């Protein structure tokens, strides 16, 4: 006997993984340089040298027992203090170490937050296009997953559609900005309108409606665009942050949850999140990475490589006649599929070893996602294939 639901999650490989595996096997046949794989959001800029130096220093200088030992489950105080100081210096906020929980990246942090908020019948709203893992995360926490349709073509938040889906059972709205897959950054105006709507609805229903801010891409913005710090706009916000993308550390599993003490039931919610993590087997985040972050929380990525790719690809695709959402953040372009069916487009592109992800799994059919954390050369050499595809679909 086994759990049929978790079996299905394990057995059904995601379309993204399948595409990237296809890319790897094709590379062995036609050569790596002839496969134009835009499927995976794996950071392609190196980890900042200060991070590497911090690891060497820790290994050389720290007592190994202390370095590799268990930490407290909420994380080292020094790490939480360094993160709080960094947030406060950037945003003029008043974050304290006691409001931070050091987790193993955004994915398990989101799971703990959903579990902590999942009272019976609790509904969680995701705004399309959305990160597909939200659905299994919410459902395995015991919540009900609901989707707000996309605000095409700008991919901000469609307030009327969102309002129509808020019920007395709404526990939280998941906000992911900069967004995977659209690359769009929600404007301050959008977020203020969202805050006003949720404040009104919370009052109407007599309980808090939280924002769960999923922010692995917070620092990945371009052309001077900034990601507003949501807790300053809407106090009932729980932030799930990750260093996977900002410091190019996706395999190391380190991030944090911020639960403002002034949020509704802030302290209780913090403890409920710690308890949910505990119930899922969380012991502590990797000790060595906590100590690295204590020294490196102030570092920002050098985005020059992503920015060069972004400009070249966006401009190149527009010149071929494609339409895409304005890519202000993350490392994704979300492109309208010529012919209207992104699965058909993706399948035909695959025949030319051009790998793009149909938007269906992100709750947004008709668009495809392109991850531009790849080499510049790949972009340059793939543009003629995108052009060919456009010509084929325009016939």
- Nearer to ligand PLP (CB atom), residue 222 or residue 331: 331
How near is the Cβ of 283 to ligand PLP at its closest, in Å? 17
What is the C-alpha separation between 322 and 377, in angstroms, rounded? 20
How near is the Cβ of 127 to ligand PLP at its closest, in Å? 12
* Residue 53: HSE in the Cβ half-sphere, 13 Å Cα cutoff: 6
Q: Which residue minimizes CB distance to ligand PLP?
A: 242
User: How far lies 176's CA from each of 110, 185, 217, 230, 285, in Å?
Assistant: 12, 9, 9, 11, 23
What is the C-alpha separation between 306 and 272, in angstroms, rounded? 38
Say if CB 23 and CB 39 are below 8 A apart.
yes
What is the C-alpha separation between 192 and 207, in angstroms, rounded? 19
- Nearer to ligand PLP (CB atom), residue 170 or residue 180: 180
How near is the Cβ of 346 to ligand PLP at its closest, in Å? 19
How near is the Cβ of 43 to ligand PLP at its closest, in Å? 10
Closest CA to 297 of 79, 105, 99: 79
Say if CB 276 and CB 118 are below 8 A apart.
no
What is the C-alpha separation between 206 and 191, in angstroms, rounded? 22
Binding stretches for ligand PLP (CB under 6 A): 41, 105-107, 131, 176, 180, 214, 216, 242, 244, 250, 255
Tokens matching residue 265: 């039931």
How near is the Cβ of 122 to ligand PLP at its closest, in Å? 20
How near is the Cβ of 242 to ligand PLP at its closest, in Å? 3
Tokens matching residue 10: 């394990």
Q: Which helix (H) or strand (E) holds 211?
A: strand 210-214
Strands 237-242 and 210-214: parallel
- Nearer to ligand PLP (CB atom), residue 35 or residue 104: 104
- Nearer to ligand PLP (CB atom), residue 71 or residue 242: 242
- Nearer to ligand PLP (CB atom), residue 41 or residue 301: 41
Give the contacts of 82 (CB within 8 A, at least 6 positions apart): 293, 294, 295, 297, 298
User: How far lies 140's CA from each of 17, 110, 118, 277, in Å?
Assistant: 21, 11, 10, 13
- Nearer to ligand PLP (CB atom), residue 87 or residue 107: 107
Instruction: Write the DSSP symbol of residue 97.
Output: G
- Nearer to ligand PLP (CB atom), residue 143 or residue 216: 216
How near is the Cβ of 20 to ligand PLP at its closest, in Å? 13
How near is the Cβ of 145 to ligand PLP at its closest, in Å? 15
Tokens matching residue 165: 């889906």
How near is the Cβ of 209 to ligand PLP at its closest, in Å? 21
What is the C-alpha separation between 320 and 297, in angstroms, rounded? 41
- Nearer to ligand PLP (CB atom), residue 106 or residue 148: 106
- Nearer to ligand PLP (CB atom), residue 216 or residue 228: 216
């Amino acid at each position: 006997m086994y759990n049929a639901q978790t079996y299905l999650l394990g057995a059904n490989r995601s379309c993204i993984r399948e595409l990237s595996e296809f890319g790897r096997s094709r590379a062995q046949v036609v050569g790596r340089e002839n496969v134009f794989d835009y499927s995976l959001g794996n950071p392609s800029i190196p980890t900042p040298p200060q991070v590497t130096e911090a690891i060497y220093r820790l290994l050389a200088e720290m007592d190994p027992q202390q370095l590799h030992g268990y930490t407290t489950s909420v994380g080292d105080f020094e790490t939480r203090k360094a993160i709080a100081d960094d947030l406060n210096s950037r945003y003029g906020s008043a974050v304290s170490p006691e409001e931070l929980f050091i987790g193993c990246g955004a994915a398990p942090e989101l799971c703990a937050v959903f579990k902590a908020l999942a009272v019976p019948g609790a509904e969680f709203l995701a705004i399309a296009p959305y990160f597909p893992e939200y659905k299994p995360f919410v459902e395995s926490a015991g919540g009900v997953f609901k989707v707000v349709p996309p605000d095409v073509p700008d991919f901000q938040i469609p307030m009327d559609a969102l309002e129509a889906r808020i019920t007395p059972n709404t526990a939280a709205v998941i906000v992911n900005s900069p967004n995977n897959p659209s690359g769009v950054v929600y404007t301050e105006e959008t977020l203020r309108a969202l805050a006003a709507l949720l404040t009104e609805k919370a009052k109407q229903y007599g309980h808090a409606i939280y924002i769960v801010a999923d922010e692995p891409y917070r620092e990945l913005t371009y052309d001077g665009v900034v990601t507003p710090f949501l807790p300053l706009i809407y106090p009932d916000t729980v932030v799930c942050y990750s260093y996977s993308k900002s410091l190019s550390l996706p395999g190391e599993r380190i991030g944090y949850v911020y639960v403002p003490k002034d949020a509704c039931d802030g302290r209780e919610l913090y403890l409920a999140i710690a308890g949910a993590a505990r119930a899922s087997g969380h012991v502590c985040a990797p000790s060595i990475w906590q100590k690295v972050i204590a020294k490196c929380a102030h570092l920002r990525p050098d985005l020059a490589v992503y920015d060069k790719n972004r400009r070249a690809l966006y401009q190149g695709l527009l010149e071929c006649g494609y339409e895409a959402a304005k890519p202000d953040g993350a490392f994704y372009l979300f492109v309208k599929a010529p012919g209207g069916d992104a699965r058909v487009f993706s399948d035909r592109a695959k025949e030319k070893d051009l790998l793009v992800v149909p938007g269906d799994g992100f709750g947004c059919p008709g668009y495809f996602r392109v991850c531009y954390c790849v080499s510049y050369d790949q972009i340059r050499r793939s543009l003629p294939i995108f052009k060919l595809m456009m010509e084929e679909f325009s016939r």
